[in-house]
Amino acid sequence: MREIDITRGIIGNHIDDFYNALESDVIIVGGGPSGLVAAGLLAEKGVNVTVLEKRLAPGGGIWGGGMGYKYVIVQEEAVHMLDHFSIPKREYEKKFYAVDSIALASGLIFGAVKRGVNIFNLVTVEDLLIREGRVTGVVINNVFVQMNQFPVDPLTLEAKAVVDATGHDHDVIATLARKNDVKLNTPTGKTLGERSMFAKSAEELVVENTKEVYPGVWVCGMSTASVYGGYRMGPIFGGMLLSGEKLAGMLLDVCSK
């Protein structure tokens, strides 16, 4: 056994995957529940999907359940998505299901990967490519470069559609609005900011506001609240799953054109 044979296997396979991501159909920034659901559903239809996640583990805000208690809640309307990704659930009250957060996070991650989604962790999106009034790709860097503020230039990836699935941060749209004189597809043309907790309305709005917010860039999950002035909802996750499902339907149309 030579150690460099192990190294060769890692470098070669990573470069193959990275090369494949250079021109994706869809780039999803953020590996939380909404992004992972959308990625998995698109990939099973043959769409070339890349997910970029800045943390070590994808899964976003799922892992911690509610205040560290390891269950999250999914309402009946979204249970078909749990079943689709083979994630176990327990009906603890009529129309409400308790889901082990570790099963949900790992199930969505593996569900995406086994359908062919290319997930890169430790990669942060720090800027966008914009050509003729349309977002055409992302500017990426290794997260350690960003954390240490090293003067290392980034690389770029292109896609037909870019998705902001970065949660509360709404990092992609925040960057788009901060660095460019653009009018967003919101009532004011700008981001509206997230409001305090109101679970029922939040769950409805997160699905309603899953949409194209600027040509070439869509928003899903919790970042819809920051962009469109929705509410936070706490550890109920049905809206996230349904937001991902709605997004996949919208992007399937875009990718088939």
Interaction site with ligand FAD (CB under 6 A) = 29-35, 52-55, 60-62, 124-125, 165-167, 169, 171, 221-223, 232, 234, 240
**Shortest distance (Å) from residue 235 CB to ligand FAD:** 7
Instruction: Pick the closer one to ligand FAD by CB: 125 or 255.
Output: 125
Q: How far apart are CA 18 and CA 193, in angstroms?
A: 34
What residue has token string 């959308």? 38
Residue 146 or 185 having the CB closest to ligand FAD: 146
- Provide, rounded to whole angstroms, the least separation between the CB of residue 250 and ligand FAD: 16
Nearer to ligand FAD, 29 or 213 (CB): 29
Q: Which is nearer to ligand FAD, 12 or 26 (CB)?
A: 26
Residues 118 and 51: beta-carbon distance below 8 Å: yes
Nearer to ligand FAD, 129 or 132 (CB): 129
